[in-house]
Amino acid sequence: MRLPREDLFWRIEPLLGSVERPSRYLNHEWGAIEEQDGPFHACVMYPDIYDVGVPNLGLAILYDELNRLKGVSCERAYLPWVDMCSLMRENSIPLLSLETSSPVASFDLVGISLAHELVCTNVIEALDLAGITLLAEERDEDEPIVIAGGPSAWNAEPLAPIFDAILLGDGERAVSRIALTVRDARTEGVPRTEVLRRLSGLEGVYVPSLYEVVIDETSTRWGYAVPKTGSDAPAIIRKHCIAHLKETEPVAQRIVPYLSVVQDRLTVEILRGCARGCRFCQAGMTYRPVRERPADQVLEAVERGLQTSGYDECCLSSLSTTDHSQCAGMLHELHENLSGKGIRVSIPSQRLDSFGVDMASAARSSRKAGLTFAPEAGSQRLRDVINKNVTDENMDSAARNAFSNGYRRMKLYFMMGLHTETDDDLRGIARMAERVVGIGREMLGPKSKVTVALSASVFVPKCHTPFQWEGQLPLEETHRRQRVMLEAATDRAVRISYHDAETSLVEGALSKMGRKGFDLVLAAWRHGCRFDAWTDQFDFESWRQAATDIGLDLEDIACERFDLDARLPWDHTSPGVSKGYLQREWRRALEGMTTEDCTMGSCTGCGVCPTLHVSNDLAGERA
């Protein structure tokens, strides 16, 4: 039964003196929507702490769009930290929204962001704390419609029993249609099953209860989903895709928190999608096509956002910011406009092959302390396998450009465990980092304090990529390869860090599983697992025991390879990239053949444009 809407902050307030960072739980931040009259009430939730959730651009976009709808109000909710969760349970206080301190269970619609696989136990924790019935099929008629979306919604099968609906693709416009559909259905008084049936007719909306899982000789052991007889649900749910980024609100992030948070700055999305075609990259496949925001809109958005927020830093965000056809010009103009105002303009990880002298100079003008590049692999052979179309010469050129513009620090991202990787590829990672250090000393002097921070993550095969059929490295082999890489680095100016192998194994298992994965997630939560993305909270033994309890083995799941023609657990969802294209890219990987970027050459036949009736939308000529 839905909880009554009432302001319960008076019950939270006495607890604030007993918890870490109590300002996480205060409302009325600058930029928050104060008028929350409804009568239709939605709540968007980030299932992690406030500090991590507030900067999330996806959630900010949904919050902004829903609050623009007449008769709809939208609030936010975040998962309290473990200390507050315990106190709230002890005092019988449910999870509350931030704006009005209303029970999350009192809302008509609750949307949850799936930012990554390891957030899964937090989703259960949030729904349990809210008092919302966990399984969608067991919810009462008047309980909230619970939906999900976000980067990890592409294989949401391990959480499918929780959600009434899952949005695939871009949230703009789609979330408004979802809210209005639920509102109108609720106004008419139709049963919950009819609400879900109507949602399934919307573009990009997947309603798990309308599908059943089939396991046969054509599938993996996890089966595949097909519409239930008589459901009228589509056999394949294709993502919702906006054709032009310029038609969206460029300054969705308006809220200024009371406390310091991760990525504490204004974020303006300047580009969505990437056609580089890296074969390991899920985002590169699922966010296609490329859609650029025009430079004049970006410049206006930065100026307006900085004025309304008071931030002293703005991030030009995208999967590959320096790929924007007008990036250099925008950086130069921002430098001119913001000169002397103490405001920094930052850009995320730069592409090696698009980082010329002009770009280095433009980025340096914004006083960024260091540069980040992602070569991904230590040899040209392996970079060709993963279609990372950059060379050692690109890396050397980027390093020279950076050091000549006064940089002394550089961060390099790599992956280990990539398909066909050898020990020599691993040693090549250390060699590349040491070569960059050498270039820095050559240009800045032999005694200069040049440092290269090398970060190596464990490759996790993801759905809807050419490597979705591959298995992950076993734990013992992962640890061995980490030692090979560490031993290969001899220069103290190279600082190496690597991701936890056990955490990556759990992520890999969740990425492979179908609906049976829900049993694992629920068992792990019952063993006390939550905040699994936090190093000090992750408990691998509890995850391993949870798997044992239901007759599974984490390593066996994560390391499993699928047949290329098998029906996969996520085949009923589509980002527009055809399975045939992914199979072709997998074969080209085995041959070490690269595929060009279609924004710089001819169509590569991925299928997105004709399937979704969209195309690459560039703001200028791509070099």
| Residue that is last in its domain, among 219, 238, 257 | 238
Q: CA-CA-CA-CA torsion for 259, 263, 265, 269, nearest 10 degrees? A: -140
Regarding whether 249 and 340 lie in a shared domain, the answer is yes
Of 321 and 124, more confident: 124
Alpha-carbon gap, residue 313 to 366, rounded angstroms: 9
Name the amino acid, one letter, at 338: L
pLDDT mean over 81-88: 98
Kindly report the length of the chain: 623
Regarding whether 271 and 174 lie in a shared domain, the answer is no
Between vectors from CA 156 to CA 617 and to CA 270, what angle results, nearest 5°?
A: 25
pLDDT classification of 565: cutoffs 50, 70, 90: very high
pLDDT mean over 301-328: 93
Structure tokens at 433: 């980092």
Instruction: Residue 413: name the closest of 454, 458, 385 by CA.
Output: 454
pLDDT of residue 146: 98
Residue 278's contacts (CB-CB under 8 Å, 6 or more residues apart) are 284, 376, 386, 387, 388
Q: CA-CA-CA-CA torsion for 596, 598, 603, 608, nearest 10 degrees? A: 120
Structure tokens at 365: 């003008």
CATH number for the domain harbouring residue 407: 3.80.30.20
pLDDT mean over 216-223: 98
Burial class (CB in 10 A: 0-12, 13-18, 19+), 300: middle
Regarding whether 280 and 156 lie in a shared domain, the answer is no
Q: What is the 3-state secondary structure (H, E, C) of 493-545?
A: CEEEEECCHHHHHHHHHHHHCCCCHHHHHHHHHHCCCCCCCCCCCCCHHHHHH
pLDDT of residue 5: 82
| Residue that is last in its domain, among 213, 238, 263 | 238
Structural contact between residues 432 and 412, judged by C-beta atoms closer than 8 angstroms:
yes
Say if residue 358's pLDDT is above 70.
no
Q: What is the 3-state secondary structure (H, E, C) of 551-573?
A: CCCHHHHHCCCCCCCCECCCCCE
Residue identified by tokens 């949850």 is 112
Regarding whether 32 and 53 lie in a shared domain, the answer is yes
Structural contact between residues 49 and 81, judged by C-beta atoms closer than 8 angstroms:
yes
pLDDT classification of 333: cutoffs 50, 70, 90: very high
pLDDT of residue 406: 84
The answer to whether residue 538 is domain-embedded is: no
Name the amino acid, one letter, at 547: A
Please tell me whether the overall predicted TM-score, pTM, comes out greater than 0.85 for this model. Answer: yes
Regarding whether 255 and 174 lie in a shared domain, the answer is no
The answer to whether residue 349 is domain-embedded is: yes
- Residues 214-232, buried b or exposed e (16+ Cβ, 10 A)? eeeeebbebbbbbbeeebe
**DSSP category for residue 469:** T
Sign (positive or negative) of CA dihedral 279, 281, 282, 285: negative
The answer to whether residue 384 is domain-embedded is: yes
Between vectors from CA 511 to CA 547 and to CA 175, what angle results, nearest 5°?
A: 120
pLDDT mean over 120-138: 98
Regarding whether 304 and 211 lie in a shared domain, the answer is no
Q: Hey, how many other C-beta atoms are within 10 angstroms of the C-beta on 96? A: 28
pLDDT of residue 352: 76
Alpha-carbon gap, residue 159 to 520, rounded angstroms: 10
The answer to whether residue 567 is domain-embedded is: no
Say if residue 25's pLDDT is above 80.
yes
pLDDT classification of 35: cutoffs 50, 70, 90: confident
pLDDT mean over 165-190: 97
Say if residue 361's pLDDT is above 70.
no
Alpha-carbon gap, residue 598 to 592, rounded angstroms: 19
- Up-side HSE of residue 446: CA atoms within 13 Å toward CB? 0
**Number of domains into which the chain is organized:** 2
Cis before 144? omega within 30: no
pLDDT of residue 286: 98
Say if residue 368's pLDDT is above 80.
no
Q: What is the largest CA-CA distance in the chain?
A: 76
Regarding whether 327 and 288 lie in a shared domain, the answer is yes
The answer to whether residue 565 is domain-embedded is: no
The answer to whether residue 511 is domain-embedded is: no
CATH number for the domain harbouring residue 88: 3.40.50.2300
Range of the domain at 408: 245-503+574-612
Beta bridge partners of 598: none
pLDDT classification of 623: cutoffs 50, 70, 90: low
Instruction: Residue 393: name the closest of 432, 350, 346 by CA.
Output: 432
Say if residue 1's pLDDT is above 70.
no
Structure tokens at 394: 């690109």
The answer to whether residue 623 is domain-embedded is: no
Q: What is the pLDDT of residues 275-300, one digit of tens each?
A: 999 999 999 999 999 999 999 999 99
Regarding whether 267 and 134 lie in a shared domain, the answer is no
When the pLDDT of each residue in the chain is averaged and rounded to a whole number, the result is 94
Regarding whether 486 and 384 lie in a shared domain, the answer is yes
Regarding whether 386 and 357 lie in a shared domain, the answer is yes
> Which DSSP string corresponds to 145-174?
EEEEESGGGGG-GGGGGG-SEEE-B--TTH
Regarding whether 292 and 184 lie in a shared domain, the answer is no
Alpha-carbon gap, residue 339 to 358, rounded angstroms: 18
The answer to whether residue 508 is domain-embedded is: no
Regarding whether 442 and 377 lie in a shared domain, the answer is yes
Q: What is the pLDDT of residues 393-452, one digit of tens each?
A: 999 999 998 888 888 999 999 999 999 999 999 999 999 999 999 999 999 998 889 999
pLDDT mean over 317-342: 91
pLDDT classification of 467: cutoffs 50, 70, 90: very high
pLDDT mean over 145-153: 97
| Residue that is last in its domain, among 238, 273, 288 | 238
Residue identified by tokens 């829903």 is 66
pLDDT of residue 339: 86
pLDDT of residue 610: 97
Write the CA distances from 511 to 24, 129, 130, 621, integer angstroms. 31, 26, 27, 37
Q: What is the pLDDT of residues 195-218, one digit of tens each?
A: 999 999 999 999 999 999 999 999
Sign (positive or negative) of CA dihedral 415, 534, 24, 101: positive
